[in-house]
Amino acid sequence: MTNVVINTLGGSTQSYSANELQQSTGCRIITPEADDYDARRAIWNGMIDKRPAAILVARDEAGIAAAVSFASTNGLLMSLRSGGHNIAGMALCDDGLVLDMQDMKSVTVDPEARTARVQPGASLGDVDRATQEFGLVVPTGINSTTGIAGLALGGGFGWVTRKYGLTVDCLKSVRLVTASGSIITASKTENSDIFWALQGGGGNFGVVTEFTFDLHPVGPEVFAGMLVHPIADFPDVTRALQALVADAPDELTCWAVSRKAPPLPFIPEEWHGREVMVVPFCFIGDLNAAEAATLGVRSIGNPIATHFGPMPFADWQTSFDPLLTEGARNYWKSHDVAAFSDAAIDIIHEAVNNLPSDECEIFFGHVGGAATRIPADATAWPNRQSHFVVNVHTRWQDPADDGKCVQWARKLFQALEPHAMGTRYVNFIPEGDEANNLEDAFGENLDRLVRIKEATDPDNLFRTNINLTRKIPAGVAG
C-alpha cells in the first residue's frame, strides 16, 4: 500500500495511505509511482516542474467538496488544477495535494435563456464548440486550449470583448466550494461579496465547481484574418493601428503580434523566419458590412501577406493554437499601456529586432468598448480605461536558453515601465512575481479583496493562487 507524505500549511508533514486518501475524498489518487503521474502533473508551461505528493482526480462536485474538507481539516497544502494553462504554474505544488478537475468538462447551453453552465475543466474550445451550435458566445481569450476557469477568474479578454465585455462581465453565477468544504451559490444577489471577488480577483477564495455565463449572439461565421507587415514598418503600423482602434466600432477588434514569421502557407517563403508584425483582426457584426468595416485596418501600410474572409468563429478561435502548444518553456512580463508613445514604439521595435529565440513575440491586445463602460469598482478587475495589454511573451525549448530569454523579457519590461500605466493583467503574472504585483493587478480594489479573502478563508487554505493576504513587514510577527 502506497504511503503518501504531504506537506502541511504549517510547514510540517503528515502521512496517509493512498487508500485512506481515496476513501476520504472519493477521488482517484495518483501517486508518483503511477504510470500516468508525469502526464497528470504536466502543464502548459514547460518551465514549471513541480512534484506533488499526490494528485486527486475529481469526478464531480461531491468529490471536490470532500477533497477540500479533507485538506482543510488536516491543514494540508493543496493546489487547484483546471486547465493547467496559467503562466506561473499555480496548478501545481511541491509535496502537497493537487485537486485535479481537468476531466470535468461539461458545457450545457440553454439557447432560449442564452446561458451556459460550464464545469471547471472545460477549455475555451469546449465552450466555443458548445455555444456556437446556437450562434452564441462567451467572451473569452484567443487560445482554445486555455482553461475557462483560470481565464474567467482572472478577467478574460479577446475578440468579443469590445462588443460584450470581459469574460467576468458575463459571469452570472457560480457554485463554489469554500475552505470549510461547504457548497454555496454566489451571484449578484447571493453571497454577492464573494461573487464580486471572483469577477477578476483570481482563484484565491474557493473552488468553482460550475460557472453560469450569459451568452451573446456571434457567428457562427465572422469576418476575420491577419495582415503581415515587415518589421521595418512597425512604428508606422503601430501609430496607425492605435489611431484606428480609438474610433473603431465595437464589433471590430484589431491586435498585433511581432515575432519571426512562422511558415504559414500564405506568407511568402522568403519571409519565413524573419521578423514581422502580424495584425490579426476580427469583425463580429453583419457580414454584409464587413468589407467596409475592416477597410481601415486592411488599408494600413503595405503588408507582405494577407489572409482574411468569412470563417467559422470557432475555427478563428484556434488560429493561434499552433504557436501556443503545450510543453515549451515560457516566461511572460506584461504592462497595460494607455497609448504608445514614440519612445515606447522605438523600445519595442528594437526588442523585436533582437529576439532571443524563434518563438518569442511581443503581443498587444486592445481592451476597449463595452469593457470600459463598467465602473472600476463594479468587479474586482480594476482597469476599465481603454488600453493595450502588452505581453512580452518569451518562449523557447532548450533549458540552456533560460537565462538569456528571461533576461530579454525583464529588460524590455523595465524599459517600457516609464511608458506604461502601472497596472498589470493578473493572468499574465509569471512565477515568483505575484506577491510584488498585487497593487498593480488590483489597484484600489485590493483592500476589499483582502477583506473578503480573510473572511472566507481565514486559514489561507487556498494559497497557491495569487495570494491575497496582507503583507507583513520583515521582523513583525503575524
pLDDT at 176 over 50: yes
CB distance 6 to 97 below 8 Å? yes
**Residue 473, pLDDT score:** 36
Q: Alpha carbon 120 to chain centroid distance? A: 14
How long a stretch of residues is the chain?
Answer: 478
Residue with C-alpha cell 526588442?
351
Question: How many CB atoms are located within 10 Å of the residue 198 CB?
Answer: 27
Structural domain of 226: 221-435
**Residue 96, pLDDT score:** 97
**Residue 466, pLDDT score:** 87
CB distance 216 to 164 below 8 Å? yes
Average pLDDT, stretch 81-95?
Answer: 95
Of 136, 138, 141, 137, residue with least CA distance to 151:
141
pLDDT at 433 over 90: no
pLDDT at 436 over 70: no
Does residue 85 sit in the same domain as residue 114?
A: no
Does residue 23 sit in the same domain as residue 71?
A: yes
Overall domain count for the chain = 3
Query: In this predicted model, what pLDDT tens digit does every residue of 346-366 receive, in sequence order?
Result: 999 999 999 999 999 999 999
pLDDT at 14 over 90: yes
Which range, 197-201, 466-470, 471-475, is most confident? 197-201
Q: Which of 170, 199, 217 is the last residue of a domain?
A: 217
**Residue 438, pLDDT score:** 86
Does residue 280 sit in the same domain as residue 344?
A: yes
pLDDT at 1 over 80: no
pLDDT at 478 over 80: no
Q: Does residue 472 fall inside a structural domain?
A: no
Query: In this predicted model, what pLDDT tens digit does every residue of 381-418 receive, in sequence order?
Result: 999 999 999 999 999 999 999 999 999 999 999 999 99
Q: Which amino acid is at 55?
A: I
Q: Does residue 446 fall inside a structural domain?
A: no
Helices (H) and strands (E) in the chain, counts: 15, 21
Average pLDDT, stretch 297-308?
Answer: 97
Does residue 293 sit in the same domain as residue 415?
A: yes
Q: Which of 179, 202, 217 is the last residue of a domain?
A: 217
Rounded-to-integer distance, Cα 150 and Cα 202, Å: 7
pLDDT at 471 over 60: no
Q: Does residue 79 fall inside a structural domain?
A: yes
Q: Which of 191, 217, 243 is the last residue of a domain?
A: 217
pLDDT, mean over the chain: 94
Does residue 182 sit in the same domain as residue 320?
A: no
pLDDT at 56 over 60: yes
| DSSP H or E segment with residue 387 | strand 387-396
**Where residue 469 falls among pLDDT bands split at 50, 70, 90?**
confident
Does residue 320 sit in the same domain as residue 364?
A: yes
Rounded-to-integer distance, Cα 200 and Cα 426, Å: 8
Q: Does residue 371 fall inside a structural domain?
A: yes
pLDDT at 310 over 80: yes
Does residue 238 sit in the same domain as residue 261?
A: yes
Does residue 155 sit in the same domain as residue 259?
A: no
Of 109, 164, 125, residue with least CA distance to 282:
164
pTM score of the predicted model: 0.94
Query: In this predicted model, what pLDDT tens digit does every residue of 187-229 receive, in sequence order?
Result: 999 999 999 999 999 989 999 999 999 999 999 999 999 999 9
**Where residue 472 falls among pLDDT bands split at 50, 70, 90?**
very low
CB distance 83 to 89 below 8 Å? no
pLDDT at 434 over 70: no
Phi, psi of 350 (to 5 degrees): -65, -40
Q: Does residue 262 fall inside a structural domain?
A: yes
Rounded-to-integer distance, Cα 265 and Cα 307, Å: 10
Does residue 26 sit in the same domain as residue 63?
A: yes
**Where residue 475 falls among pLDDT bands split at 50, 70, 90?**
very low
Average pLDDT, stretch 284-302?
Answer: 96
CATH number of the domain bearing residue 138: 3.30.465.10
Q: Does residue 21 fall inside a structural domain?
A: yes
Does residue 292 sit in the same domain as residue 314?
A: yes
CB distance 415 to 325 below 8 Å? no
CATH number of the domain bearing residue 46: 3.30.43.10
Q: Does residue 312 fall inside a structural domain?
A: yes
- Sheet of 115-118, strand order: 107-110, 115-118, 207-214, 171-177, 183-187
Average pLDDT, stretch 91-102?
Answer: 97
Does residue 51 sit in the same domain as residue 128?
A: no
Rounded-to-integer distance, Cα 376 and Cα 374, Å: 6
Does residue 265 sit in the same domain as residue 399?
A: yes
Q: Does residue 464 fall inside a structural domain?
A: no
Rounded to whole angstroms, what are the CA distances from 42 to 211, 360, 417? 25, 22, 33
